[in-house]
Chain A
Amino acid sequence: MKQSLPTDIVLSAENLTKKFGSFTAVDSISFEVRKGEIFGFLGANGAGKTTAMRMLTGLSNASSGKGTVAGYDINTQSEQIKKTIGYMSQKFALYDDLKVWENIRLFAGIYGVPAKEIAPRTDRLLRQLDFEKERNTLVKSLPLGWKQKLAFSVAIFHEPSIVFLDEPTGGVDPAARRTFWEMIYQAADRGITVFVTTHYMDEAEYCNRVSIMVDGKIEALDTPGNLKKQFNAQSMDEVFHQLARKSTRKAD
């Protein structure tokens, strides 16, 4: 079933477009993401990031264009995509009323980790996170920084080839935010591709490559270093401001 791709491209989009009536939310975007890459997907509110992400994660159909994620076609194999990828959002990631181990058990099951592997892998994960004492703690009583670490670990528990992170670090304290990015580095070092959106422009610097969407189109795509050179800017924040100012799609 899985299409054999000759390259190490984990995600590709070709003229991917989404229209709602006469409004083009995502306007023919094309790009590729390679294995083990940390790819930052940036854009102002309303630029079309979420809509693009929904198409790439199999949650919404494209109006036109093509794409593959983890070797599956986004137009015809969205169910396989949902089973294969990892996904974590700031808003919803874990069940507050379940214990730490119960959350891991639940998501591992949903993502099809073989039952007999779940227990030993849970032990290993809790050890790595230094969470063994919290095994039976309800998720809602964990500090936010811990929750986010756990949510990320759960999202990659089944060792997906790609994980989508939708504003994973919103509101976290600075130290926890850094620990979180170190976990992302480690996952990428293991070969897991990371596709991440954020409103923290300094976090764009952690990415290998960054794309910036403006009014439904990808207006820039390169390494943070090259983007700063290209826009003659000191920081990614400046790059972002230069691009986003061009927006004509006023917040509405």
Chain B
Amino acid sequence: MMASSKLECTERWTFNFNTNMQALHTTSTSDLALSCQSVSKRYVRNSPFEKVNVSALEDISFEVNRGELFGIIGPDGAGKTTLFRILTTLLLADSGVVRVEGFDVVTDFRAIRNEVGYMPGRFSLYQDLTVEENLNVFAKVFNTSIEENYHLIEAIYKQLEPFKKRRAGKLSGGMKQKLALCCALIHKPRVLFLDEPTTGVDPVSRKEFWEMLKRLKAQQITILVSTPYMDEASLCDRIALLLQGRILKIDTPQNIVSQYPHELWSVSSDEMSKLLTDLRNIPAIRSGYSFGESHHITFKNKEWSMDALRAELEKLGHSSIVIKKIEASIEDCFMDLSPESKG
């Protein structure tokens, strides 16, 4: 009895899936893995005093090509998770159209769920199940087995295998992250969504994780990954810079950096804290930001010569002054593109 009803269920599922596949044939035209057009989402937040209407996403549009490693780069609160939940059919947008592998996120959500893997920023594992059990659950939900797609996860899972009888809740952060990635991959998704997989992870483990992503990309899996770490931007094929629910820019990291519109200098001296104040007090200087070992500055219009700046800083009591012309980093670009810097 149980078995047959389960079978029926599966059959119905397959049937739906097939009709959708036909729909795909008539509509899918391109090499796009994902297209997102004019997506907006607002939340109403109830505070004790008033209802606050918060805009989480405003008019978001972008496309991701098949096999691309696409990064959504932005700080906390930029809307990364909201966007990922819309793209993975878990949340409805207020407006806009999203297609993943040709399927519409609203009408074909079942088909999309078969095609994508999603690794949320928080909780995606069953803490009380072992490593092996977690992986089995995810495989069975998608009617597959660990063996069938083992080649996809092999490189990552090998590092976990010594602990396969350990409960997920007892794993370290890095291990949990690897297991979550395996679970998101076990049904051989065509598009993989990774929401902040490296947040709070140390630089060495972050690097390892990105190396894993590169290997997955080599297997033709399209990957969308979000991160608050700007230094990870250069590891993506293309990136969207996201701030306060809006996309500031979409391009390859190289193009974004090369399109930085100002001449950028780095300045350091023996008194870094005072130097920043002094630099900002020079009227010709448009922006001054600290980058730790040096400050990065841009000028308003008429540029000073380095000698003139050096002379000015010496007059203010600085010594060991080093001034260099430098190439912008993604962080320089992000700050320059932020609305605050324009105001």
Q: Which residues of A contact B (CB under 8 A)?
A: 43-47, 138, 140-141, 143-145, 167, 170-176, 178, 181-182, 185-186, 188-189, 199-206, 224-225, 237, 240-241, 244-245, 247, 251-252
Say how far A78's CB is from chain B's closest CB, in angstroms: 27
**Which residues of A lie under 8 Å from residue B199 when comparing CB positions?**
170-171
Given known A45-B173, A205-B293, contact A175–B338 (CB-CB < 8 A): yes
Which residue in B47, B204, B273 is a CB contact (below 8 Å) of A244? Answer: B204
* B7 lies within 8 A of chain A by Cβ: no
User: Is the pair A185, B273 in contact by a Cβ cutoff of 8 Å?
Assistant: yes
B interface residues, tally (CB under 8 Å): 42
Q: Identify which of residues 39-71 in chain B touch chain A, using a CB-to-CB cut-off of 8 Å.
A: 45, 47-48, 52
Find chain A residues with CB under 8 A from B230 CB.
Answer: 174
Which residues from A are CB-within-8-Å of B147?
none
CB neighbours of B172 from chain A (8 A):
45-46, 251-252
Contact in complex: B335, A174 (CB < 8 Å): yes
The reply to whether B289 and A206 contact each other, CB–CB distance below 8 Å, is no
Bound Cα distance A8, B51 (Å) = 52
A244 to B200, CA, bound (A): 16
Expressed in whole angstroms, the Cα–Cα distance for A189 and B275 within the complex equals 13
User: Within 8 Å CB of A237, what residues of B?
Assistant: 203, 231
- Closest Cβ neighbor of A247 among chain B residues: B204
The reply to whether A45 and B243 contact each other, CB–CB distance below 8 Å, is no
B292 touches A202 (CB 8 A): yes
Check A252–B340 contact: CB distance below 8 A: no
Shortest CB distance B272–A (Å): 8
A172, B174: Cβ atoms closer than 8 Å = no
With both chains docked as a complex, state the minimum distance between the C-beta of B342 and any C-beta of chain A, in angstroms. 12
Contact A189–B273 (Cβ < 8 Å) = yes
Distance to closest chain B CB from A89 (angstroms):
12
- In the complex, the chain B residue whose C-beta lies closest to that of A237 is B203
| 7 nearest A-B pairs in the assembled complex, by CB-CB distance | A205-B292, A173-B75, A171-B76, A251-B174, A205-B293, A44-B202, A185-B273
Give the residue name and chain of the A residue nearest to B48 (CB).
A138
Indicate if B163 sits at the interface (CB-CB under 8 A).
yes
- Decide if B276 touches A204 in the complex (CB within 8 Å): no
* B331 on interface, CB distance cutoff 8 Å: yes
Bound CA–CA A131/B200 (angstroms): 29
Question: Once the chains bind, are A182 and B292 in contact (CB under 8 Å)?
Answer: no
Contact with A along B170-191 (1 / 0, CB 8 A): 0111110000000000000000
A167 pairs with B200, CB closer than 8 A: yes
A173-B338 CB under 8 A given contacts A45-B172, A185-B273, A224-B293: yes
Q: What 11 additional pairs, Cβ within 8 angstroms, besides A171-B76, A175-B341?
A: A47-B202, A141-B52, A144-B75, A144-B76, A172-B76, A173-B338, A174-B230, A199-B201, A206-B292, A224-B292, A224-B293
Are the C-beta atoms of B205 and A251 separated by less than 8 Å?
A: yes
B residues in contact with A46, CB < 8 Å: 172-174
| Contact yes or no, B163 A252, CB < 8 A | yes
Measured CA separation A43–B203 after assembly (Å):
9
When distances are taken between beta carbons in the complex, the residues of chain A under 8 Å from B207 are: 241
CB of B145 within 8 Å of the partner chain: no
Minimum CB–CB distance from A112 to chain B (whole Å) comes to: 29
B169 interface hit (Cβ, 8 Å)? no
23 of the cross-chain contacts (CB-CB < 8 Å) are: A43-B202, A44-B203, A45-B173, A45-B174, A45-B201, A46-B174, A47-B202, A144-B75, A144-B76, A170-B76, A172-B76, A173-B243, A174-B331, A178-B289, A181-B290, A199-B201, A203-B292, A206-B290, A224-B293, A240-B204, A245-B204, A247-B204, A251-B173
Residue in B175, B243, B334 whose beta carbon sits within 8 Å of that of A251 in the complex: B175
Q: Which residues of A contact B290 (CB under 8 A)?
A: 178, 181-182, 206
* 8 Å CB interface, B263-304 against A: 272-273, 276, 289-293
